[in-house]
Amino acid sequence: MPLLQTRGAGSARGFGFSATQAGGGGCDGTVGIFGLGFSTTRNKYTYATCTSTASGVGAASGTNQLGAAAGNSTLGIFALGSVPGGGSTTRNKYTYATCTSASATSSSVKSAGSPGAAGNSTRGIFAIACSCFVGTTTRNKYTYSTDTSTATGVGVASFATCGGGSAAGNSTLGIFTVGKQTSGGYPNPFFNTVRNKYTYATCASTASGVGAASQASYNGSAAGNSTRGIFALGVNGCACQLNITIRNKYTYSTDTSTASGVASASSNTGGPGAGVSWATCVNT
C-alpha cells in the first residue's frame, strides 16, 4: 500500500511522483487524484478501466495552480500553491475512501511556483518556492497521522529556489529537482541541472553525489516506482525557453541519471506540467 506524490508541473507531475511503502511496487494502485490547475476541479482516474471523472470528486478549497501533492494509501495532501493574489499557505486533505476534501495544516510560509513534493507512507516533504516573490530553501515535513507540519529539522534545498521543481522517490528517499535558482534575479532566474536527495530517516538533504539532469531545465514533472524515477525535464534553460521532450531515468540505488535509452515525450507542446495539473496516486 504505497503512496505517492507529486512533482512539479505537468500532469505527470501530475503528480507526480510515486513513493511506496517498504516492499511496495510504486504508484500502481487503484486511483489517482489530479488537481487540474487554474480552478478548483479535481479528477479521479481509475487505473483498471482507464477512465477519468470529476463527478463526486472533492474539489479544492479555492482556485489554484502550480501546487504540489504527496500522500499515502488513505489520503493525499494538496498544497494549493498560487491562488488569486499570490502564493498561499493553504493545504487540503483528500480522503480516498470518501472522495472528500477538507482543510489540512498550512505550510510554514506562503509558496508558489510548482516546487514539488515527495514522501513515503508516514510523511510528505513539501518544497517551498517563491515565498512572497523571494526564493527560499525551506521545506516542510507533513506527518499524516497527526496532521502536523513543520520546517524545524527538515533538510533544506541546496540553494534558494523560486519554483519549477519536481520530485520522485521511494520509501526511503526523495529526489528533488530544485528548479529555478534565484541568483539570476526574479523573475528571470538561473536554470540548472541540480538535484537533491532527501533521506526520510534522517531528514537530511544533499546535492553531493546526486545524478544531475542531462540539461538545464525547469517546470518538469516526475513519476517512479521503488527502483527508479522518470523525470520529464519540462522547459529548457536557454534564452528561448522551449518545452522539450527529454526525459531522464534516475536509478535510486546508484544515484545515477541518464537520458540514454529513455523514451521521450510524444510532443513538446504545452506549458508547465504542474502548473496545469498535479496529483496523488496510491496503492490500496
Given this model, what pLDDT does residue 220 score? Answer: 86
Q: Give, rounded to a whole angstrom, the gap between the first and last alpha carbons of the chain.
A: 5
φ/ψ (deg, to 5) at 184: -80, -10
pLDDT reported for residue 164: 85
Q: What is the DSSP letter of 273?
A: H
Residue 33 identity (one-letter amino acid) = I
- For the chain, the helix, strand and coil percentages under 3-state DSSP, each to the nearest 5: 0, 40, 55
Residue 24's pLDDT is 30
> What does the DSSP assignment read for 206-230?
E-TTPPPPSS-EES-EEEE-SSEEE
For residue 170, give every residue at least 6 positions away whose Cβ sits within 8 Å of its Cβ, in sequence order, or none: 19, 20, 24, 26, 120, 224, 225, 226, 227, 252
Q: Please give the model's pTM, rounded to 2 decimal places.
A: 0.85
pLDDT tens per residue, range 161-183: 888 889 999 999 999 998 887 65
pLDDT tens-digit profile, the chain (284 residues): 334 444 443 322 333 333 322 223 334 468 889 888 789 999 998 888 999 999 999 999 999 888 899 999 899 999 998 888 888 999 999 999 999 999 999 999 888 878 899 999 999 999 998 766 678 899 999 999 999 999 999 999 998 888 888 999 999 999 999 888 765 554 555 778 999 999 999 999 999 999 999 998 888 889 888 999 999 988 876 656 677 889 999 999 999 999 999 999 887 754 444 333 455 655 43
* DSSP-derived 3-state class of residue 114: coil
* pLDDT value for 123: 97
Q: Are 51 and 45 in contact (CB under 8 A)?
A: yes
Cell of 252: 535510486
Q: Grid coordinates standing for 49?
A: 478501466
User: How far is residue 178's CA from residue 164's CA, in Å, rounded to a whole number?
Assistant: 8
State residue 237's pLDDT score: 65
User: What does the pLDDT look like over 200-239, one tens digit per residue?
Assistant: 999 999 999 999 999 988 888 898 889 999 999 888 766 5
